[in-house]
Structure 1
Amino acid sequence: QSVRANAPWCPSNLEFIRRINGLDSIADVKNILFSASYLVMGLGDVYLGAPVATPIDPRHRLVTTKYNPARTWTAENSVGIGGSYLCVYGMEGPGGYQFVGRTLQMWNRYRQTKEFKQPWLLNFFDQIRFYEVSADELQQIRQDFPQGRYPIKIEEGHFSLSEYQEFIATNQDSIAAFTAQREQAFEEELTRWHADGQFNYVQEDVIDDNEEAELPEDAIRVDSSVSGSVWQTQVKVGQTVKAGDVLLILESMKMEINITANTAGKVTHLLKADGARVQAGQTLVVLQTI
C-alpha cells in the first residue's frame, strides 16, 4: 500500500537498476549479478543474519536508491540492492532495497545441518555467488535446504589485499570507464526526478472525513505511540472490542506496530485511513464504553 505506482522504480526494479546504472538491457543487469563475487561486510542488516555485501570487482558495483516510502512487506530472503550494497533479507518485513531476486535461507531457526553449525549461514568476509534457477526450483530448494537436503557449494578461499590492489591497478581504465558511465546515468536519472517533481517527493496524507469530528466528552481516545503510517485497519466502526484487541497496525522504522484497545468498548470513530501518515500522540481510534 505504501508503494506509489508512479515511483521511478515501478513497475520493474530491474529496469530501474538498468537505467540508473547506464546499462543497455536487463540482461546486462543479470550478467553482472551472476558474475559478481559479493564480499560480506556485515551481518544482521535487516535482522537474522542478513548479509550486507559489496562486489569485489568495482565493475560489478550497481548503485540504486531505496524505496521512498519504504515497502510495508518484503518476502523472506528477497535479494535487493540499496546504495552500492546488496542485502539478503533474513526474514519477511518492511524494506526499501531494489529487488533483484530471491534466494535460499540465511537463518535456520529449527535445526543444525552441515551448512548451519549455528543459526546464521554466513560469516564476515565470506564471498557470495548467485546463479539463476526457476521459481519452481527455488521453491523446492527452500523446502529442502533448512532440512539439510540441499547441499550448497562452499569453497575455502583467501583474500589478499596486495593481490586486490594489483587487480585494481591492472584494470583501472575499464573500472574508470564503468564508474563514469554509472555516475552519468545516475545524474541523468536525478535530473528527470527534478523535472517531474519526484526528487522532493513527500507522501501526502490520506484525508479522512472523520478526522475533525467532534467527540463526546466520555470518548476514549486511542493514540499513536510513534510516528509512521497506517498499514492496516483491523476493526470497523460499530464493532465491539476487548482491552488488548488490535485496532490498527502502523508501519514505522521498518517495523509493524500494533495499536491496541486500552479498554473494552465500541468503536465510534476511525480517524485515519489506511495509508495515512500519523504523528506520535495523534488520536487514531475513538471508543465508547459499554
Structure 2
Amino acid sequence: PNLTSAICIPAALDLALALALALACAPADGAAIPILLASARQRIQFVFQTRFLAISALCRVFLVSKDSVRTIHMDIAGPRWKGKDSALFAKENPMSKLVEQLQASLAELGANAQLSGCSALLHAGPELADLLDRACFGRRIATSEQDAHWFELGLEEAFYMAHDLECLAISAEDGKPMNGAVLWAHMRSKQETFPDLYRAYSHLRSKNWVVRSGTQYGVDFVAYRHHPALVHSDYAVLVLPEGDEDKSSPRLRVWSDLQCTLRVAGSVAKTLLVLSIKGSCRNLDFPLCLEQSIVEERVIRRWVPEQCRENH
C-alpha cells in the first residue's frame, strides 16, 4: 500500500497539472486538444515508470540492508567460520576423531612431558607435532632443530592428557615420574585455582570444545567449536566456585564487573559463559574432588528490549 501510494498519488497530481495546462493552452476551437492530451498521456507514462523504477530500487536496497542486519545477528549467535569451506572441513574432520588419533599416537609412542614452572614441555616428531596442532593441544616453541618440535602444555592440558586421556606420562623437573595425587598436589601448589580451572577445562574438552586461554579477553578460557584457524571462538568462559565463603574469587561480585565483562565479550562477538563449580574442588583430595564436583553452565547476555519484544 505504501508503494502504491508513493507511485499513484504523485502521478495523479502530474496528470491533473498536465490536463490543466493542455486545456489552458488549447485554441478556442479545441482542435489541438487531442494532440495535447496524447502528449500529456506520454508524459504521465514516463513519470509513472520513472517513479516506479526509483522506488523499487530504494525498496530493494532497504530489503537487502534489513536482511543483512538479520544475517549479521544470526552469524553472531551461531558459528563464525573463517572461510567458505571451513564448515565442511570441520564436519569431515570432527574434533573427537582428531583427539582419538592423538591419544592413540601418544600412547603408542609412550610420550613423556617434563614439568617446567607452570607448564610442561613435550618433545614431538613431525607426525605427532601435526596431530598436536590439529587437535589444538599445547603451543609450539620455536627452536633451531629442524626435525624436532617442542610444545608447551598448560597445567590443565597436561593433566587432562595424563588423567582423562591416559596417554601422556609426566615427570618432574628432575626427571622423576609424577602421576595421580602427587601430580595433582604439585599443580595445585603452582596455581591455587587449578582444581576449579581443571574441572571446567575437562568439562568443556569432554564435549569436544577446543579450550584456549582467555587472558586477552579478561576471562579464564575461550571455547571454540573446532580449530581456531577455521572458526572464531563462541564463548568467553569464566570459572566461579559456588559457595566461595572465603571470597577467593572476586569475579562478578559487583554489578560494574558484570557489565564490563559483558561489554568486552560482546565487542569481540563472544557469549559470556559462566561455569559454576558445585562442590568444593579445593577442600578435597584427588580424585574425590573431581568425582564429587558438578559443573553448572550459565549463559549471560545483555537484555536488548528491541530484540525481546513479542513476535520479534
TM over 0.5: no
Which is greater in Rg? 2
More helix by share: 2
TM-score by length of 2: 0.25
Normalised to the residue count of structure 1, the TM-score between the two structures is 0.26
Return the structure number with greater strand share: 1
